[in-house]
Structure 1
Amino acid sequence: MKTPIRTPSALGWSWTSYEQTTTVMRLFRKDLHETRQVPVVEWLIDGEPLTERLRFPNGTPYEDLTLMHDAPHFPPSAVASLRALLLLAGPEQEPVGFSDGRVGILYCPCGDLYCGAVSADIVTSEDTVEWRDIAHQDGTTEQLGVSEIPAFTVTFERSAYESTINTLLAEWAARVDDQSGSTS
């Protein structure tokens, strides 16, 4: 029996935002709460946000994000995550990849892999890139599927995938360079 040929999905991205609340605890006075919208790049698969595919059975949205936040300390992490999605190894990979070789795709808003992440086994062929078994992975035990969301796989046409990731990589690498230039 032949395996059906799947049409590759298209990987895209768009800017969106998430609400971040910071609490300042003060002695003998009411705590201060500051809420702001933080811009973040969101992955789109065939035009649909990846987070929509990751909704819990009760309809609650999955709240993990990419590391491409519009915040000063995130550009180096964004570059590391994009390099990992291209399977480019480097010393900066530790905060974006698990010891079993899986790569983080979406992370806790704090950006710490040890909070757990949505990860995938990235497999390439001459013509395709697959994000295999996309699932939540525990940051401490590295156990897969620790949420109620079933794992799934997405296949992309390799040249389009690499073009999308390389475009973002150039943008975020420039942000890192801008930060380095402004601090020297």
Structure 2
Amino acid sequence: MLSVVTSPSAARVLRSPPGRYALTRVARADPLAVLGTRWAESECWDLKWRGFFRLRPELVARAPLRFLDWTIDGQPLRDRLAFANGRVCENVTFLTEGSYGDPFAIESLRALLGENTSGMDPWVQYDDGRAGVCCSASGAGGLDCGAVSTDVQVMETTVEWRNVTYQDGLTGEVGGPDAPAFTLRFDRTQYETTVRALLEEWST
């Protein structure tokens, strides 16, 4: 005899072989996240040298940089990238205001689809294959100044961002004690629909 019993906490299968009962817990897959976007702003500063001999540095605020930020289940991805000491993530996506047609933006989206971006590597993808999710807001472009990166895995029905964390632009070192990595799983149809819509918009 085989009977299936479900509960809010877990699915259980109750088997009754001769003379004994066995209770087996069936593992559930991690819930799928929903990838989205929203417009955000990042503070920007210019370094000015003051004084008669121009030896006194001063940071001068300029207009904030507007960019299309990634969201996970409606919440900014950058919220999950805060450091252990409380410092917030200052990286931005390649999708900045006015960057339509920009090759950095276009190829960064193709990298997140798992497509070939060899023409723009290492600007949107590191040598180890990890794709850039957010880069420096300095305006220099590319991943040289370090970035938030991930190992994109496209499977039959899902897409995974494995080990999302910071990556050093010079050494390629991934993560650290102050920036633990995490993994996100998406429904492939929802994920690709979102990213390809952005790719079409930025390619025009």
Q: Which has the larger radius of gyration?
A: 2
Q: Helix, strand or coil: the match of 2:196? A: helix
- TM (normalized to structure 1)? 0.85
Distance 1:134 1:9, change over 3 A: same
Superposed, 1:4-153 pairs within 5 Å as: 4-25=28-49, 28=52, 33-71=60-98, 75-90=102-117, 91-110=119-138, 111-146=141-176, 148-153=178-183
Instruction: Report which of the two has the higher share of helix.
Output: 1
Identity %: 37
Q: Helix, strand or coil: the match of 1:81? A: helix
> What 5-or-longer segments of structure 2 have no aligned partner?
1-24
**What letter is aligned with 2:85?**
N
Distance 1:19 1:150, change over 3 A: same
How large is the RMSD of aligned CA atoms in angstroms? 2.3
Distance 1:148 1:74, change over 3 A: farther
84-93 or 65-74, larger mean C-alpha shift: 65-74
Instruction: Report which of the two has the higher share of strand.
Output: 2
| Number of residue pairs matched by the alignment | 174
Q: Distance in 1 between matches of 2:75 and 2:113?
A: 21
Q: Distance in 2 between matches of 1:16 and 1:72?
A: 15
Q: Helix, strand or coil: the match of 2:107? A: helix
- TM (normalized to structure 2)? 0.77
Q: Per-residue CA shift, 1:43-97, capped at 9, x if unaligned?
A: 0001110110011123221111111111459822111100100111131232010
